[in-house]
Amino acid sequence: MHKIILLLLISFFPLFLGAQALFLGERQERLGNYKTYALLEYEENRFQILRFNKQFDKAETEIYDGQLKLKGRYISSDRKRKYGGAMHIQDKNYLLYSYYIDNKALQRYEDVSLYAKEILPDSFRLSPDSIALIPPFDMKERLYRGNFVLSPDGSKLLLYDYEEEGDIEDIRGLTNSIRLRVLDARLQLLWERKLDLSLHQSGKRVVAIQKLKISNQGIIAILCDRFREKRSYQLKKVTADPLVYFLGPNAGEFTHFSPKLGDFFYNEMDLLFDAEGNIYWTGLYSQKKYYKQGGYFFIKINAARNQVLTKYKQSFSDSLKAQLLQRKLGRIKEKTELRNYKTISFRQLADGRLILLAEERPYGIHNFKSHNIFLLCFSEAGELLWEQSILKHNSFPKSKASFLRPYLWEKAGKLYLLFNRGLYGRESGAYLAQIDAQGKLKEKQLLSYEFKDELLCPELSYPLEDGRLFLGLQSLYFRYYQFAFLEPQSFMEAPESTSK
Task: Kindly report, residue by residue over 392-409, the tens digit of the pLDDT.
Answer: 877 776 777 778 889 999
- Whether 84 maps to a domain, the answer reads yes
Domain interval for residue 114: 1-10+34-140
Looking at the structure of the chain, the number of domains it has is 1
Res. 200: pLDDT tops 70:
no
DSSP code at position 323 = H
Q: In whole angstroms, what is the distance from residue 448 CA to residue 428 CA?
A: 6
Look at residues 293, 261, 283 and name the one whose alpha carbon lies nearest to residue 378: 283
Highest average pLDDT, of 14-23, 81-90, 236-245, comes from 236-245
Cα dihedral 380, 385, 387, 388 sign: negative
Q: What are phi and psi of 25, to 5 degrees?
A: -90, -175
**pLDDT band, very low/low/confident/very high, at 204 (cuts 50, 70, 90):** low
Look at residues 451, 454, 446 and name the one whose alpha carbon lies nearest to residue 480: 454
pTM value is: 0.90
Q: How many Cα atoms within 13 Å fall on the side-chain side of residue 5?
A: 17
**pLDDT band, very low/low/confident/very high, at 336 (cuts 50, 70, 90):** very high
**pLDDT band, very low/low/confident/very high, at 31 (cuts 50, 70, 90):** confident
DSSP code at position 350 = T
Q: In whole angstroms, what is the distance from residue 244 CA to residue 199 CA?
A: 15
Look at residues 338, 347, 221 and name the one whose alpha carbon lies nearest to residue 274: 347
Q: How far is CA 84 from the centre of its chain?
A: 15
Q: In whole angstroms, what is the distance from residue 54 CA to residue 478 CA?
A: 11
Strands 34-43 and 46-53: antiparallel
- Whether 68 maps to a domain, the answer reads yes
DSSP code at position 171 = B
- Whether 457 maps to a domain, the answer reads no
Cβ burial, residue 192 (10 Å; 0-12/13-18/19+): middle
- Whether 49 maps to a domain, the answer reads yes
Average pLDDT, integer, range 455-460: 91
pLDDT digits (tens, 9 = 90+) for 413-454: 999 999 998 887 777 889 999 999 999 999 999 988 877 777
Average pLDDT, integer, range 277-306: 97
Calculate what percentage of the chain has a pLDDT beyond 70: 91
- pLDDT at site 296: 98
- Whether 156 maps to a domain, the answer reads no
Query: How many Å from the N-terminal Cα to the C-terminal Cα in the chain?
Result: 39
- pLDDT at site 422: 80
- Whether 272 maps to a domain, the answer reads no
Ramachandran category for residue 186: left, alpha or beta (phi over 0 → left; psi -120 to 50 → alpha): alpha
Q: 3-state SS of 21-61?
A: CEEECCCEECCCCEEEEEEEEEECCEEEEEEEECCCCCEEE
- pLDDT at site 32: 85
**pLDDT band, very low/low/confident/very high, at 17 (cuts 50, 70, 90):** very low
- Whether 259 maps to a domain, the answer reads no
Residue type, 316: F
- Whether 71 maps to a domain, the answer reads yes
Mean pLDDT over the full length of the chain: 88
Q: What are phi and psi of 30, to 5 degrees?
A: -70, 135
pLDDT digits (tens, 9 = 90+) for 161-182: 999 887 677 788 888 889 999 9
